[in-house]
Amino acid sequence: MKLALFSTKPYDKKFFDAAREARQQTNIEVTYHEASLNDDTVALAEGADAVCVFVNDSVGSTVIDQLASHGIKAILLRCAGFNNVDLAAAEKHGIAVANVPSYSPEAVAEFAVALMQTLNRNTHRAYNRVREGNFALDGLLGRTLHGKTVGIVGTGKIGIATARIMKGFGCRVIAYDPFPSPAFKEIGEYKTLDELLPECDIISLHCPLTESTRHIANEENLSKMKDGAMLVNTSRGGLIDTTSVIKALKNKRLGGLALDVYEGEGSLFYSDHSGEIIDDDVLMRLTTFHNVLVCGHQAFFTVEALTEIADCTFRNIEEIVRDGTCRNLLTKRLELNSSPSLPVRNV
């Protein structure tokens, strides 16, 4: 079994090599490609049986047509979100698609909370100031989170983990999800999105990117948020209409924005562009606000998560080879995806 792994970074190789070594006598051979998968690089998959991709690989129908012509039998996502893969095209060619649905929801939830805390208490600014010998507190004033209302949009694995942490901070936690979960009902109360928006001091997005959630943070919904509230997105960049969010920051309606993901991240994130002129004016505008924090899609990035991602990817391949299917198969959710009005559970 030959696996071509795209968008490889040194840490991917380290964790995949370790997971492969731990599975003694595995017959899975891994070829590492630094290039991301797209129409221009798909030829690199020739000779492989399966490809392994990450969040910014483009696995649309034209790439899938070419993967099929190279005899690819499976697409293994080493992440939970699968908005970058055309599942219907894969199904058409009989290519199995599987993801790693739950490598460490806590890793992402903890990072979401780290962003909230950093932005709220201005520790990012304090860090720079102190290094320059500036110990003044002006501009560092925060709010006590205890007693504040936090809104969770999407109460899946990560949303629930975030809700639990915020409950531990003494916050009142409310949520919106078209598929309510009994686990959340033990933590807080469900609301409609319209009810939730004006009540929250902090809103954290944890729903998948689908046609029904794209730009869920748009001008209309932003205008319904409480004055000065904070918006946090560790899910997918496309959930936020960045132009509207910039407007809301400029007119001071939005009090803070913490992003781990950005809708135009594909051409920038996961690489060093420090010696280049970055021509994304929208992202550059975002970075000029003192109350905006942008990170490069790193919420998943813990030792525990990378270990489980590599392990689970191997388990997925082994199951597909052995049984022709696997418990994390995504193509079986096509019926759900086919209804644009129905939000898809990203499980």
Q: List residues binding ligand NAD (CB under 6 A).
A: 80-81, 105, 108, 153-159, 176-179, 206-208, 212-213, 234-236, 260-261, 297, 299-300, 343, 345-347
Contact 133, 187 (CB under 8 A): no
Based on CB atoms, which residue is closest to ligand NAD, 296 or 319? 296
> Looking at 91, 125, 211, 236, which residue is catalytic?
236
Please state the closest distance from residue 288 (CB atom) to ligand NAD, in A.
23
Q: Which residue has the closest beta carbon to ligand NAD?
A: 156
Tell me how far CA of residue 201 lies from CA of 106, 173, 187, in angstroms. 22, 10, 17
Based on CB atoms, which residue is closest to ligand NAD, 38 or 212? 212
Where is 132: in which H helix or E strand?
Answer: none
Please tell me the distance from the alpha carbon of residue 315 to that of residue 304, in angstroms, as a whole number: 16
327 labelled catalytic: no
Q: 314-317: long-range contacts at Cβ-Cβ below 8 A with a sequence spacing of 24 or more?
A: 314/19, 314/20, 314/23, 314/26, 314/28, 316/74, 316/76, 316/98, 316/100, 317/1, 317/3, 317/28, 317/50, 317/74, 317/76
DSSP string, 21-46: HHSTT---EEEE-SSPPSTTTGGGGT
> Looking at 23, 46, 110, 265, which residue is catalytic?
265
236 labelled catalytic: yes
Please state the closest distance from residue 16 (CB atom) to ligand NAD, in A.
18
- Closest C-alpha among 263, 296, 231 to residue 83: 263
Please state the closest distance from residue 79 (CB atom) to ligand NAD, in A.
6
Based on CB atoms, which residue is closest to ligand NAD, 290 or 327? 327
Based on CB atoms, which residue is closest to ligand NAD, 42 or 163? 163
Please state the closest distance from residue 239 (CB atom) to ligand NAD, in A.
9
Exposure letters 8-39 (e unless 16+ CB within 10 A, then b): beeebeebbeebbeeeeeeebebbbbeebbbe
Based on CB atoms, which residue is closest to ligand NAD, 156 or 188? 156
Please state the closest distance from residue 259 (CB atom) to ligand NAD, in A.
10
Task: Give the catalytic positions in this structure.
Answer: 236, 265
